[in-house]
């Protein structure tokens, strides 16, 4: 049975994580301090370390939360019956929802603990697996030409990552996904588009 | 970001949605069908590392030895595997 103290403990942990996510969204990982997180949740600085042994441990949980939110939303928003067009829309919508967090994660990954990179790659493998299934559906329906699934997924991941990494250049002061998402999707679909017969 | 999540595997973090995702097809299972056997018991650490590495290789074309290292790093942050050391190379 879960006691009240356990519930309070879990609630405080969640509060800290949410505050961490909000501050990373605003300023990135490097500029987010445990002191600021404590201030935002209205707790003593030491309380952070009751729930997370080190700053790195908290950073990893923030990265996990970004990753699980993406895979979870994708699992809910997309379906195994989706073709590429619908899958790409679902993925772009998920990225849009946490655009600043994904951008911060990609930009600062080399300075984060090694497991952060492992989480990003796991997240990308999940995207790739779903994109591969969507491509196969379109091939089976005669809507797309046969194409290497891993290669297509890597092209998509590279494209979206490039725009997220450089969102300040591609869409200063606004959402890079809103501004460029539709064009990126069209570019990917064009790669596997079936050639129309010429008369 | 939403706070509501579908259950995720306590071993690898994979989101478990359909019955097939859960070990043994049991929606109460704590682990996914990749990391645990049909009775819900976790497979040995090295086996789970190899299976997760294979996922990286199949879906992103990552080099096998790099994928093993990624999988080991990822799993060691999960409560189910804290402190485990893989012997896989």
Asked if the A56-192 domain carries CATH number 1.10.10.60, the reply is no
Q: Which pLDDT does position A68 carry in this prediction?
A: 83
Tell me how close the Cα of B60 comes to any Cα of chain A, in angstroms: 6
pLDDT interval class at A197 (50, 70, 90): low
Verify whether the Cβ–Cβ distance B77 to A65 is below 8 Å.
Answer: no
| For residue B41, pLDDT beyond 80 | yes
| Neighbour count for residue A5 (Cβ, 10 Å) | 8
pLDDT interval class at A71 (50, 70, 90): confident
Q: pLDDT by residue (tens digit) across B4-40?
A: 456 889 999 888 888 888 999 999 999 999 999 999 9
Residues linked to residue A193 through DSSP beta bridges, in sequence order: A144
Given CA atoms A78, A79, A84, A86 in this order, what sign does their dihedral have? negative
A16 to chain B, any CB pair closer than 8 A? The answer is no
Distance CA A23, CA A32 (A): 6
pLDDT interval class at A2 (50, 70, 90): low
Verify whether the Cβ–Cβ distance B2 to A153 is below 8 Å.
Answer: no
Indicate the domain borders of chain A.
1-52, 56-192
Where does A1-52 sit in CATH, by number?
1.10.10.60
Distance CA B71, CA B46 (A): 10
Cβ proximity of A37 and A48 under 8 Å:
yes
Q: Which pLDDT does position B2 carry in this prediction?
A: 44
Nearest CA in chain B to A123: B14
- Taking contacts as CB-CB distances below 8 angstroms, the residues of chain B near A23 are none
Verify whether the Cβ–Cβ distance B1 to A65 is below 8 Å.
Answer: yes
Q: Which pLDDT does position B54 carry in this prediction?
A: 96
Q: pLDDT by residue (tens digit) across B75-87?
A: 998 889 987 766 6
Verify whether the Cβ–Cβ distance A21 to B8 is below 8 Å.
Answer: no
Q: pLDDT by residue (tens digit) across A96-141?
A: 999 999 999 999 999 999 889 999 999 999 999 999 999 999 999 9
Verify whether the Cβ–Cβ distance B62 to A121 is below 8 Å.
Answer: yes
């Amino acid at each position: 049975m879960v006691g009240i103290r356990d519930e309070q403990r879990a609630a405080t942990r969640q509060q800290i994580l949410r505050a961490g996510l909000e501050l990373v969204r605003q300023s990135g990982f490097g500029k987010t301090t445990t002191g600021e997180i404590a201030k935002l949740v209205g707790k003593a600085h030491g309380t952070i370390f009751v729930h997370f042994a080190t700053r790195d441990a908290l950073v990893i949980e923030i990265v996990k939360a970004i990753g699980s939110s993406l895979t979870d939303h994708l699992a809910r928003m997309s379906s195994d019956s989706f073709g590429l067009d619908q899958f790409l829309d679902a993925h772009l919508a998920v990225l849009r929802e946490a655009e600043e967090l994904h951008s911060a994660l990609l930009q600062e990954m080399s300075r984060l603990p090694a497991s952060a990179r492992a989480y990003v790659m796991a997240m990308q493998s999940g995207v790739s697996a779903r994109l591969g299934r969507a491509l196969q559906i379109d091939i089976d329906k005669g809507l797309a030409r046969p194409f290497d699934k891993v290669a297509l997924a890597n092209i998509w991941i590279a494209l979206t990552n490039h725009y997220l990494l450089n969102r300040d250049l591609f869409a200063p002061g606004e959402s890079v996904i809103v501004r460029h998402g539709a064009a990126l999707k069209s570019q990917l679909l064009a790669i596997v588009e079936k050639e129309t017969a010429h008369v | 970001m939403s706070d509501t999540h579908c259950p995720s595997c306590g071993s690898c973090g994979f989101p478990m949605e359909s019955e097939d995702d859960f070990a043994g097809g049991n929606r109460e299972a704590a682990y996914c069908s990749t990391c645990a056997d049909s009775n819900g018991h976790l497979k040995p650490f090295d086996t789970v590392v190899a299976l997760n590495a294979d996922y990286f290789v199949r879906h992103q074309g990552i080099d096998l030895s790099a994928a093993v290292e990624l999988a080991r790093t990822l799993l060691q942050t999960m409560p189910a595997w804290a402190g485990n050391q893989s012997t896989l190379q």
